[in-house]
Amino acid sequence: MSAYKRILLKVSGEALSDPTDESHAILSKTICQNLVKEIKAVHDLGVEIGIVVGGGNIFRGKLAADLGVERIKGDQMGMLATVINAIGLEGVLRSAGVPACVHSAIPACQAVEEFNAERAKKQIAEKTVVIFAAGTGNPFFTTDTGAALRAVQTGCDVFFKSTKVPGVFDKDPIKHSDAVKYDRLTFGEALEKNLQVLDQTAFALCRENKLPILVFKLGEEGNLMRAVQGESVGTLVTDN
C-alpha cells in the first residue's frame, strides 16, 4: 500500500554520477540503474511519479563567474545540463520497461517536449514517469524551486527531496558527529529553528501550498519504497 498517490521526486545531478569513477562519466551506469530499480518498484505499485533532475554533475550557474562567463549564460548552461541528465534518465527508465518522457522548461532539442503543465499532469495520471528538466526555465533559480513548482502544478501529494544525508539535522551531520536528526517538523518549526530544508523560494512555495516535504537519502536500497509506504525515513515537513 502506498501512502501517496502522486509524488514529485527531486534528484540532484551529483547523485547520478560517481566521483570515484576514473572514466569521469557524467552519468554512472550503476547509480542510474539502481535508481531506476527503486523507481520501477514504486511505479509497479501504481504510484504516479514526476521527477525533477538537477545538473550539478555537469555545470552550476555560480561557476560561470570564474570562467568570465556572465551569470545568466551560466544558468542557461546549468539548465541545459539538467536536460542532458533528464534524457539519460528517461533512456534508462525506458530500457527497464518504465514509460517515461521529458518536459523541458526551455526549448532544448527535438529529444524533449516543451513543458506543459496540463499535458504533464495527464501523462503522470496515465502512469508515464514525467521528468522535468531545466528547472523553472529562468536564471537565478534552483532545481529545488523548479521541483516545488512542478509538484504544485501537477497536483503531487508530496515533494520527495533526496539528499546526501538522511534528513534534516539540528547541525551539519557531515561536520558534527553529535548532530540530531528530526523525524518530523512543521514549516513553522523549520523556519523558527532556521533549518535548511530547501532553498527559501522552494520552501516558501511548499509552505504556501501546504505541500509536505520529505527529506531523505535515496542511495540506500529500498528507501524510496519505504518513503512511499509512509515508513519513517528521513524528515517529514508538514503544515501541522
Contact residues for ligand UDP, defined by CB under 6 A: 12-14, 54-56, 60-61, 74-75, 78-79, 81-82, 135-136, 138-139, 141-143, 145-146
Which of 79, 92 has the CB closer to ligand UDP?
79
* Contact status, residue 140 vs residue 75, Cβ threshold 8 Å: yes
| In the complex, least distance from residue 108 CB atom to ligand UDP, rounded to whole angstroms | 13
Q: What share of the chain is helix, strand, coil (3-state, %, to 5)?
A: 40, 20, 40
| In the complex, least distance from residue 26 CB atom to ligand UDP, rounded to whole angstroms | 11
DSSP letters, 183-217, are SEEEHHHHHHTT--SS-HHHHHHHHHTT--EEEEE
| In the complex, least distance from residue 12 CB atom to ligand UDP, rounded to whole angstroms | 4
| In the complex, least distance from residue 105 CB atom to ligand UDP, rounded to whole angstroms | 7
Which of 91, 139 has the CB closer to ligand UDP?
139
**What's the angle, vertex CA 27, arms to CA 48 and CA 160, rounded to 5?**
30
| In the complex, least distance from residue 97 CB atom to ligand UDP, rounded to whole angstroms | 27
Q: Cα dist. 126→6, 104, 129 in Å? A: 11, 19, 9
H helix runs in 143-186, sequence order: 143-153
- List CB contacts of 110: < 8 A, sequence separation 6 or more: none
Which of 38, 75 has the CB closer to ligand UDP?
75
| In the complex, least distance from residue 239 CB atom to ligand UDP, rounded to whole angstroms | 25
* Contact status, residue 26 vs residue 55, Cβ threshold 8 Å: no
Which of 18, 230 has the CB closer to ligand UDP?
18
Instruction: Quote the cell numbers at residue 131.
Output: 521528468
Instruction: Quote the cell numbers at residue 218.
Output: 535515496
Residue whose C-alpha is closest to residue 202's, from 160, 146, 158:
146
Which of 142, 235 has the CB closer to ligand UDP?
142
Which of 193, 216 has the CB closer to ligand UDP?
216
